[in-house]
């Protein structure tokens, strides 16, 4: 994947990226969750099932990649994103038997970012791909049949760039679930956005944030 990435994007030079990271490193502390207005799981999940830490595993090393998903739950009129979020968590814990919701962050159609499973732990997945040391970000919706909203995409770009800076992730390691496994996730419309413009827009967002320092 790195070869393809560098071949198609000569400006995405790893050495350049690493030097930008060095510049940004000392000031990365301000790139935290609160700067993004992330809704903590404590707030949205107050009355939900208790996380089962016994079923969760710590990453073997620090996070070094980001994978984008969708929840595959279609946004319906009359049901809020928060309700969809809560039912996704119940489904993952009760039906899949996982210790917590699969994803570390989830983004609603209004652009709100919700904290999911603690980033200390490996995310959940029903397909076989490397979830260890991987930050899983899911867009709430089914993008096989609907388009991601402008606000949700803006939040996705901000969040991915923010976390990539925080964990010093090489942009070549930012991808979608479909890049790694036989799955429809994150839905053809979100995948199309990522391939057509999203990947580059995330990189620009990263450069923008880095140049602030
Ligand atoms: Zn997925």
Q: Which of 80, 29, 63 is nearest to 173 (CA)?
A: 63
CA 30, 31, 35, 39 torsion-angle sign: negative
186 CA to centre of ligand 1 in angstroms:
6
Strands 105-107 and 113-115: antiparallel
Q: For residue 105, give every residue at least 6 positions away whose Cβ sits within 8 Å of its Cβ, in sequence order, or none.
A: 38, 113, 114, 115, 116, 135, 136, 137, 138, 159, 163
Q: Within the chain, which residues score under 50 in pLDDT? A: 1-8, 10, 22-23, 25-31
Distance, CA 69 to ligand 1 centroid (Å)? Answer: 4
Query: Given this model, what pLDDT does residue 26 score?
Result: 42
* pLDDT at 19 (0 to 100): 56
Q: Mean of the per-residue pLDDT values for the chain?
A: 86
Question: H-type helices in 9-60, by residue range?
Answer: 14-25, 33-36, 41-44
In order, the DSSP letters of 103-139 are -SEEE-TTS-EEE-S-TTBPPP-SS-S--TTEEEEEE
Q: What is the pLDDT of residues 53-73, one digit of tens each?
A: 999 999 999 999 999 999 998
For residue 161, the CA-to-ligand 1 centroid distance in Å is 19
CA 46 to chain centre: 22
Distances (CA, A) of 14 to 7, 10, 11, 80: 12, 10, 9, 41
What pLDDT score was predicted for residue 71? Answer: 92
Distance 141 CA to ligand 1 centre (A): 12
Q: What pLDDT, on the 0 to 100 scale, is given for residue 4?
A: 46
178 Cα: distance to centroid of ligand 1 (angstroms): 7
Distance CA 30, CA 19 (A): 19
CA of 137 to the centre of ligand 1 (A): 9
The SS3 assignment for 39 reads strand
Distance 77 CA to ligand 1 centre (A): 23
- DSSP assignment, residue 90? H
The Å distance, Cα 101 to ligand 1 centre, comes to 13
Domains (range + CATH), the chain: 2-211 (3.40.80.10)
User: Which residues are paired to 175 by β-bridges?
Assistant: 67
Radius of gyration of the chain (CA): 17
pLDDT on residue 73: 82
Query: Using one digit for the tens of pLDDT, what is the confidence trace for 26-62?
Result: 444 444 555 788 999 888 988 889 999 999 999 999 9
């Amino acid at each position: 994947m790195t070869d393809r990435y560098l071949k198609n994007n000569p400006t995405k030079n790893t050495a350049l990226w690493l030097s930008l990271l060095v510049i940004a490193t000392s000031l990365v502390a301000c790139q935290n969750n609160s700067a993004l207005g992330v809704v903590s799981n404590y707030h949205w999940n107050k009355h939900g099932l208790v996380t089962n830490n016994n079923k969760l595993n710590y990453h073997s090393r620090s996070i070094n990649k980001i994978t984008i998903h969708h929840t595959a739950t279609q946004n319906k009129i009359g049901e809020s994103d928060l309700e969809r979020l809560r039912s996704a968590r119940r489904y993952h814990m009760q039906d899949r038997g996982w210790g917590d919701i699969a994803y570390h962050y989830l983004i609603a159609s209004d652009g709100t970012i919700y904290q999911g499973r603690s980033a200390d732990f490996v995310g959940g997945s029903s397909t076989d791909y490397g979830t260890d040391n991987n930050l899983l970000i899911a867009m709430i919706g089914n993008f096989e049949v609907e388009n991601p909203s402008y606000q949700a995409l803006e939040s996705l770009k901000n969040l991915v760039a923010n976390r990539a800076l925080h964990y010093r992730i090489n942009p070549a390691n930012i991808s979608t679930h479909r890049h790694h496994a036989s799955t429809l996730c994150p839905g053809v419309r979100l995948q199309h956005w990522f391939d057509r413009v999203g990947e580059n827009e995330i990189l620009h967002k990263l450069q923008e944030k880095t140049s602030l320092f």
